[in-house]
Amino acid sequence: MELLADLLNMALLASGVRLTVPILLTALGAVYSERGGVVNIGLEGIMIMGTFFGASVTHFVALALPVPGAEAGATHAIAPVVGMLAAMAAGVLFSLIHAVVAVTFRVNQIISGVVLNLLAVGLARFLNILFFGVATQSPGISGFQPWSVPVLRDVPALAPIATGVSPVIPSALILLGLGHWVLLRTVFGLRLRAVGEHPLAADTLGINVVAMRYAGVLISGALAGLAGGYLSIEQGRGYLEGMTQGRGFIALAAMIFGNWWPFGALGAAALFGYFDALSLRVVHTRIPYQFITVLPHIATIFVLAGFMRRAEPPAADGIPYTKEET
């Protein structure tokens, strides 16, 4: 019973919610990309770029804005917002490389994504040395002002999950609902799914296949960059090399678990976020530390093994398209 109480502790669940956000945002981005027919293995690298530029821009904006007296609060409110926007912009620009290579030049999408991941690691280290004189971390920064959920914060049992909430968390849920609506109910979503299922038919109907695939990849880059910015600005309060810890790959597993739909990916992201939180709170359990730390990755393996056979990816996912070859 004591172990069960530890596993269902509200503080642990609150930590799980916070750790779910970067996986969820990246998985949502993966849905957009693969619904358009482009596999984006480079999401991990895009997240790395988001962590670095999010933290770096937040740091420099905070330095540039004066903070005397009462104006300090305003400065702290502006800097992380600009940092998040910079993280998204970095994600878009980095994903543009993948789009050009994979969509325009029709290079193998898996190879392109792997190269993107390797490039991100080296580029982040180089830029960190260039900007801050050290290889692996940036100076500390301030994040968003946390807020509390009215009514729920007054319930003692729910206080851990209803207080100290980052504004990025409800924003992620809004983006999740918006993404599901866009893919299911809008012309853009219908065209994106058509390109991912049967690009020749979509092209015959006058849909620009290349443009739609570019759009899917760039949206995935923006969301993965936002996830990286959240990691460095809200959780790490600064860039630290390796802080993504494979979450880009876990997000791909969440997308597969969710059968390439946003709300489906939410369940898997929450599962992975919970195990991630559990691995960080090992001191509260009697389970061996070595086992706890690999729980998120074990969960990923079991999810992939159990759901891969039932998963139904878009028919043209990962397949380059040119009108001349059809």
Domain that holds residue 120: 21-245
- Is the predicted pLDDT of residue 309 greater than 90, yes or no? no
Pair of tokens at residue 248 = 């880009």
Q: What is the enclosing helix (H) or strand (E) of 263? A: helix 262-280
The band of 70, judged by pLDDT with boundaries at 50, 70 and 90, is very low
Sequence-distant (6+) residues with CB within 8 A of 11 are 160
Domain presence at residue 274: no
- Is the predicted pLDDT of residue 243 greater than 50, yes or no? yes
> Is 306 exposed, middle or buried, given 0-12, 13-18 or 19+ CB atoms closer than 10 A?
exposed
Domain presence at residue 256: no
Please write the tens of the pLDDT for every residue from 254-273: 998 888 999 989 988 998 88
**In the chain, what percentage of residues exceed pLDDT 90?**
62
Domain presence at residue 76: yes
Domain presence at residue 147: yes
Domain presence at residue 171: yes
Domain presence at residue 321: no
Domain presence at residue 79: yes
In Å, the largest CA–CA distance within the chain is 66
Sequence-distant (6+) residues with CB within 8 A of 65 are 75, 78, 79
The band of 65, judged by pLDDT with boundaries at 50, 70 and 90, is confident
Q: Into how many domains does the chain fold?
A: 1
Domain presence at residue 278: no
pTM of the model: 0.91
- Is the predicted pLDDT of residue 66 greater than 70, yes or no? no
CA atoms 86, 269, 5, 293: torsion sign: negative
Top-confidence residue, 41 or 160: 41
